[in-house]
A and B are shown apart, each in its own frame.
Chain A
Amino acid sequence: MLVKLLSSSMKKMWKDYLVLLFGLTISIAIFYMFETLAQNQAFLEANALISSIVFVFHVGTFILALVTIFYIFYATSFILSLRQKELGMYMTLGAKKGKVTQMMFLETLIIGIFSLIIGLVFGVGLSEGIARLLMSRLDFSGEGFEAFYPSSLVTTILFYFVLFLLTAIVNAIRVARKSVLELLHADQKADTKTIKGWKTFLGTLIAIVLITVGYVAMINMGDLAHLGVLIAAATVTPGTYFFFMAMLPFLIKRIKAIRSINEKGLNSFTYAQLNFRVSQLTKVLGTVTMLIALGLGAMTAGLSFYHNTEIHSSLMHGYDIKVHQPTEDELAEMKNWELEERNLYSYRVTDDGVYFSKHDLQANPPVIKEIGGNLEELSKEVRLTDDLTAPVYTDEETDDAESIPEQWQTALRTELMANFYLFGDRTLYILDQEKFEEINASTQTVLIGKVDNFTDYTDTLAKIDERHHQLAIDYTGEDPTMIGSKYESYTSLKSLANGTIFMGLFLGVAFLMMMASVLMFKLLSSATADIERYQMLRKIGVRQAKLKISIYKELFLVFLFPGLIGLVHVLIGMEMFSFILIEPYTKLWIPISLFLVIYGLYYWLTVKMYQRIVLPKD
């Protein structure tokens, strides 16, 4: 009998249940999505620039699990709020408390399991879809990535099953502890708890201490390494929730207490909307903040790796352009380039030697890069001096000639690309003019130069490198695996970075999607109660425009705080990467403004949608 009642009332409120299912499903799908990456160790290790990537993902799982626990407890408490009035009614009709409690337990569990099934199917599809899309966009083969990953499936099922079991128990206990009357009138109950001053103070203090410790850990990631990641995760996450639990109710209370603000127009209502279910709101806002931090952080880190490939490739190469034996076409093309420095050097090649003209080298001494001890010092650019006094220098061990000074060796091998790939095991020489003329071979030139924006010329540089490969075949008889140009290290770094970018964007999209679904859930789950309130306000003569503004204001605050704090988390969090990235903040404005635009758009959309639900059409 009770089961029949249960299913019939579920039919009645199918819209509310749909909202709930949607919220749970997305959360499960995203958790699974994250785990497809986190547990695929082989893929992570093969494709990440970060050596301890597996560890980072473990910590990520921990944070996501924490955030999910808060969210699921919030979402499933919605079942209770939907049903308690009805349960109270059954009890007035004679249903036993035990039976009603059991019903609540079963219902929560069934809804959980049901959404788990849908969520997993959805999660597999979503992983596949997003991965495919990103791979084709990034030109990234993504070998080893599997959208259907059994061990992730098992983890997700276990995690959510336990979680739903717990929430079912909590819901059942809540029902068991309430009297019939409390159940009947529960929907009107406000939880505007009067929070004690000292509790607010303590909460705020804990929040500040935790977040500060987390920030310090992130800034000193270079020294703390794994420990730093752990500390940051274990402090910033609870710190964020503490912040919202203590600060937010306090802040709203404070604003409400200023009568000249609160009693102006609809303000009392707008702030009351925020104040009314403040404990639910704090869970939502804390969760949203963490998801923004994770999502935006993942994206920013991914893109930062991408933008750092240019910087990385400049570490080794003083010159952007290195062309051996330039053709007429190439020379003509390069005439249009804005070269900051352009040097030509003569050399001759025989069967066992490559001979450079000392005259040319001394006329225009090139720069080389000297790598500092750690990344923070970057590499220094050093201009060589014309201290070549001997008539002959060579890189071979011999008594006949001086050996080429180390800096000059670097200049020839790296900047002038007189390397093994191109010339095989020929010996290098630097000769004065007289000796140079004696070499029986035609004079060749190598052109090196610097440009302002290296990435503008990659098309031509690719063609030049192709010709270099041909040249190498001519000189050595085999096609070398690499050639040693800056363009080459740029492309290979970029393809390495692609894996990291893929992970960053994949997770970024996932987390931001979950963020959107959490906000959406908050909105839709409170809409039914709000329809009545807005109707009432209309009846007593509030203009539609004022109601609209009130919605804009209310949701602005709901969006503002998580957005702001999430952003600060990311800004500080990027410091974590300063030990692997040279400039983690390069082009940071790109992902951030992208986020702000999307977030702003989502805010606007949410407002419009909410207005459609709670206000009649004009």
Chain B
Amino acid sequence: MTKPVVNVANAQKVFGKKSENQFKALDNVSFTIEEGEFVGIMGPSGAGKTTLLNVVSTLDKATSGKIEIAGQDITDMKQNELADFRSEQLGFIFQDFNLLENLTVYENIALPLSLQGVSSRKIKPLVIEVAEKLGIKSVLQKYPVTISGGQKQRAAAARALVHEPAIILADEPTGALDSKNAHSLMRTMEQLNQFHDVSIMLVTHDPLSASYCERILFIQDGNLYKEIKKTGDKQHFHQQILNVLAELTSIHSL
């Protein structure tokens, strides 16, 4: 746990053109995520969580600042380099599942490998391995509409994992799940992190989901507000999180 997998320095993101009224969604945010860490990003709605994740995930460009992932500076990369970088180094899980509904679960999971030119002979064992890990082996031949929300999110996780990216980025992955499925998905992510050394950056506004993380960054109006580390057990961490959120809302209501 020494090499940083994500290194964000003074990241700014301003929406709107110069001439129009501009909106600063990120204001000088700096932080690092070490290899193998499970970091949560929390904050009230509109705080800039998704913006931060998009900037880190190269889907959006920071207005200024420097962002390194797996030792590579992504701020100056071209569109094509970014696309290649995403397909090799990053894994995504979004709130609304983001599975291609015209592909079977198997094809969805296999897609990142196909895109990297992995031969179909090698693809199958890899897909099956990751599907087993996530407990969705039985639905591999089904289409996304025919499986449950929890299974969909696991399939999305499997797709994010299958090509062994440097980090998995998840934006509200439990947002559309009931609490049972949400717990089960978070437990799986925790296991991936603990037993398979997968680095994870998780955006969530759900304290229960967040309590699975090792460290949490709170952001507020585009600024880093506070950082807490898990010291005790999950219950304790959950309480800590709730306390910080209470602080945040009280500031807001002032």
Contact = CB atoms under 8 A, between A and B. Distances in A.
A540 B90 CA distance: 8
Interface string A254-289: 000001101111111100110110000000000000
A190 B87 contact: no
B98 A536 contact: yes
Contact of A539 (B98, B123, B124): B98
A272 B102 CA distance: 6
A541 B123 contact: no
A413 interface: no
B92 A266 contact: no
A263 B57 CA distance: 25
B83 A543 contact: yes
B115 A542 contact: yes
A328 to B, nearest CB: 77
Contacts of A537: 100
B114 A266 contact: yes
Contacts of A312: none
Interface residues of B, number: 36
Contacts of B94: 539
Interface string B79-103: 1101111111010101000101111
Nearest to B58: A541
Nearest to B81: A543
Contacts of A185: 145
Interface in B97-117: 98, 100-103, 107, 110-115, 117
A268 B103 contact: yes
Interface string A434-450: 00000000000000000
Contacts, number: 91
Size category of the A interface is 20 to 34
Contacts of A272: 100, 102-103, 107
B82 to A, nearest CB: 8
Nearest to B146: A190
B120 interface: yes
Interface string B130-144: 000000000000011
A399 interface: no
B92 A190 contact: no
Nearest to B145: A188
Contacts of A260: 119-121
Contact of B101 (A188, A266, A543, A545): A188
A348 interface: no
A538 interface: yes
A399 to B, nearest CB: 95
B114 A540 contact: no
Contacts of A540: 86-87, 92, 111-112, 115, 159
Given A276-B102, A544-B79, 15 more contacts: A260-B119, A263-B113, A267-B114, A269-B100, A269-B102, A533-B102, A536-B100, A539-B86, A540-B92, A540-B112, A541-B84, A541-B85, A541-B87, A541-B90, A543-B80
Interface of B: 57, 59, 79-80, 82-88, 90, 92, 94, 98, 100-103, 107, 110-115, 117, 119-121, 123-124, 143-145, 159
State the 6 A-B residue pairs at the shortest beta-carbon distance, nearest first.
A541-B87, A541-B86, A263-B120, A276-B102, A272-B102, A259-B120
8 contacts: A190-B143, A259-B120, A260-B119, A269-B107, A272-B100, A536-B100, A541-B87, A542-B83
Interface of A: 185, 188-190, 192, 259-260, 262-269, 272-273, 275-276, 533, 536-546, 618
